[in-house]
Amino acid sequence: MMHFIIGNYGNETIALLSWAKANNLSDLYCLYVDTGWAAPSWGERVHAAESWVRSLGFTPLTLKSQLDFAEMVRSRGEFPNRKFQWCASTLKGLTLLDYLEVQDPLREGIIMLPHRRSLSPKLQDLPEWVEESEYYAGRKLWYPLYLHDEALVQARVAATPFPWLLHRSLECDPCVNSDKCDLLRGEAKVSTKAAALERELGMPMLDASMYQQGEDIFSLWQRLGKEQSCPHQNKYLFDQSCASPFACGL
């Protein structure tokens, strides 16, 4: 039986991989989608995690989306937003389904996701199993960590070579879900690339209410750094969105 972990090598993905090894799972693939919009340093994390996944006896795969985030935004002439987050379903969902239809044409594989109830009030009724997932063409969906609390997840991460991150995974950075604290956590290069795309499209990437008149996302980032400080958070930004089925931020 093939198992497919959909993850982005944040704390939750690392904890799920640690659980899978402890529970002797086999024939397991960890699928990461390269959206072309990751934080500059995130590639190092992915490379290290994939080497570790191989050491566990599992198979890591990076799947490249046909269009990267910037190309997709240009083709549509707009950014996704918190209400219509088509970026995840287009960049990740279609890429994953294309791969799964080749690797698992009979749809017998099990999709594993690192969500858990304690991550968000929106997940308080999360089941362990979904028999037929609409997002994965009817394949069975499994949430092995659904009852894990933060302490147990931290313990699972502590059993790996990876430190506990104080932020979400950064496979897309900034994200259309980013609030002020998440934006402030990012490095200058993150806001610079987003500001260039904003100028190209003539519209803001984030919620317009976050900006002052004449600001782009880089000047917003600079102002926030002067006006406020935010504690680093492992904040789950995706519990209401179409991004959630594809493990964004985890």
CB atoms within 10 A of CB 204: 19
3-168+236-246: CATH homologous superfamily? HUPs (3.40.50.620)
pLDDT in tens, 70-82: 999 999 999 998 7
Cα 216 from Cα 199, distance rounded (Å) = 8
Distance CA 157, CA 247 (A): 17
pLDDT, tens digit, 9 for 90 and up, residues 118-170: 988 888 899 999 999 999 999 999 999 999 999 999 999 999 999 999 889 99
What phi and psi values does residue 12 have, to the nearest 5 degrees?
-70, -40
pTM: 0.94
Query: Residue 80: what are its φ and ψ, rounded to 5°?
Result: -65, 165
Sequence spans of domains, the chain: 3-168+236-246, 180-227
Determine the average pLDDT of the residues in 95-117: 96
